[in-house]
């Protein structure tokens, strides 16, 4: 009877894991950790800034997207 069952927990990783993953091996995004760590270790900060600037310019040059409420 001392067995604990853990249900899959849904959390907002962007907010809950600011200081590191709080779920450890039960993280639903564990598959991305290795690729992210590799990207961070192999990519210079200047390259990351370049990637961010390209994304920013792309977003600025995109036409505006209008979000209209559904007719009720």
Within-domain flag for 2: no
The string of pLDDT tens digits covering residues 12-52 is 888 888 888 888 888 888 788 888 889 999 999 999 999 99
| pLDDT, position 44 | 96
| pLDDT, position 71 | 60
Task: Judge whether residue 55 has pLDDT over 80.
Answer: yes
Within-domain flag for 19: yes
Q: How many domains does the chain have?
A: 1
Structural domain for 20, as ranges: 13-59
62 contacts 56 by C-beta, under 8 angstroms: no
Residues 69 and 72: their CA atoms lie apart, in Å, by 9
Within-domain flag for 1: no
């Amino acid at each position: 009877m001392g067995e604990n069952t853990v249900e899959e927990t849904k959390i907002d990783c962007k907010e809950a894991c600011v200081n590191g993953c709080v779920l450890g091996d039960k993280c639903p995004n564990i598959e991305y950790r290795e690729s992210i760590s590799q990207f961070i270790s192999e990519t210079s900060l200047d390259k990351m800034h370049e990637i961010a600037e390209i994304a920013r310019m792309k977003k600025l040059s995109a036409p505006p997207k209008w979000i209209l409420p559904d007719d009720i």
